[in-house]
Amino acid sequence: MSSQALPAMTDEHALALKQRPVVVKLGGSVVRSAELPAWLDAIAASPLPIVVVPGGGALADEVRAAQARLGFGDGAAHRMALLAMDQLAWAVAGLRAGFEVGDTEEALRASLVHGRVAVWAPYGLVADRSDIPQSWTVTSDSLALWLGRRLGAACCYVIKSIRRHAKFGAMQLARDGVVDEAFPALVKDAGFPVFLLGRGDQRAFAAWLSDMSRPPCGATID
């Protein structure tokens, strides 16, 4: 996979994409980093409809540690990790005016219709689904792609606290522990492009959000 520049879109194509949401997956490490304000500023200034999916961050890490220590099953850990994402959703939404938490597709779409940034709290939509594995093979990375398919997303940006390189394959990212095990298969079936951004990419991201006729920023994940 190469991060070489893609051709700029036609005005018609850009207009069509503007009507579909952009899913932005904020890694848990990003949420607790000094770069978070710059990412949120870029999102808040965008004229595009955006759905933010925060990772579980340190709260999800604590779930993993508690599971190892206490020995409860993956089903309980799955629900606890979703609740960790819910808590981070409320935290992120509380940092900027115009950010609004939604726990259903209808609530997320309503936020977008009213010109707000939608922030997904996944527990209510995901916890009882039998088609989503209740294990650590599926975490917030894959859930962002799952939500993107349901919302008809234009694309998904996965933001991590890493240095972005020239090449990123989904399988290698999973092997390196950057994304979860289920992510590569979901990327293949996503139906929209998925891009990786890392430390220092906020300015390029903000520029693309303000003008979708530009070539997409970030490294394409395939």
pLDDT at 3: 38
pLDDT at 6: 39
Q: Note the pTM of the prediction, 2 decimals.
A: 0.90
Enumerate residue ranges in the chain where pLDDT < 50.
Answer: 1-7, 9, 11-13, 15-16
What is the C-alpha to C-alpha distance for residues 118 and 151, in angstroms, rounded to an integer? 12
Segment 108-132, tens digit of pLDDT: 999 999 999 999 999 999 999 999 9
Alpha helices per DSSP H over 50-193: 57-70, 74-93, 105-113, 123-126, 140-151, 170-175, 183-188
pLDDT at 166: 54
Q: Are strands 155-159 and 22-26 parallel, antiparallel or unpaired?
A: parallel
pLDDT at 163: 80
Place of tokens 């991060």: 3
